Amino acid sequence: MAQVRSMRADARRNRERLLKAAVEAFAAQGEGASLDDIARQAGVGSGTLYRHFPTRRALLEAAYADRIDAIAARAGELAQRLPPGEALVEWLDELGVGMIRVRGLRALLSSSVGGDGRPAESSSSSSSSSDCCGPLRSAVARLVGAAQEAGVLRRDVEPIDVLRLVHGVAMACEAVDGEGAQALLRRYVGLLMEGLRG
């Protein structure tokens, strides 16, 4: 963020316009939205877009950073007011609904989780690519640990298992329209957690 603050005013404005256009485009068309169209909508050239965001993933990460942080912060809020098992279920419901409502968030979570639970390296991103979903991984680790300590979640369940499972549930519900998808997601998360109980 220090790098953003040190930009010239016009560069900051261009970056903000690009992020606004990207959020709108990803919401309407998914993560495959045309980057050239995003640049046009922001009123800048494609070169300006690539100077700020060298890859599609970099743009997705920047577009959804605030949303990811907000979802992660909800874990702490829920943990303070609900018993551990209920907090975990409620948070997974909210995460799943977020993946259905915010097109592109599911793609980010998917590409952030490698086969061994570490952030996956994308061929289109540099080896120093950040793990934008790190806050979500930390949040689920806290909630899973608390649920296991309370004896309401099996000890052999890893936080990464839970993230992958809710990601799969969100994918299964995505084809259903509107409120039906959210109701179905909540049902599936409930069934999933019944199977993982300690």
Residue 28 falls within a domain, yes or no? yes
Determine the Cα–Cα distance for residues 136 and 105; give it in Å rounded to an integer. Answer: 11
Is residue 122 very low, low, confident or very high in pLDDT (cuts 50, 70, 90)? very low
**Residue 119 clears pLDDT 70, i.e. is over it:** no
Average pLDDT of the chain is 85
| Together in a domain, 73 and 42 | no
Q: According to the model, what pLDDT value does residue 29 have?
A: 86
**Residue 111 clears pLDDT 80, i.e. is over it:** no
For the chain, percent of residues with pLDDT exceeding 90: 60
Residue 128 falls within a domain, yes or no? yes
**Residue 70 clears pLDDT 60, i.e. is over it:** yes
Q: According to the model, what pLDDT value does residue 153 have?
A: 96
Decide: pTM greater than 0.85.
no
Please report, for residues 64, 70, 103, 141, 156, the alpha-carbon distance to residue 67 in angstroms, rounded to integers and kept in the order given. 5, 5, 12, 19, 30
| Together in a domain, 121 and 73 | yes
More confident residue, 130 or 118: 130
* Domain containing residue 11: CATH number: 1.10.10.60
Mean pLDDT over 66-70 rounds to 92
Q: According to the model, what pLDDT value does residue 16 have?
A: 94
Residue 59 falls within a domain, yes or no? no
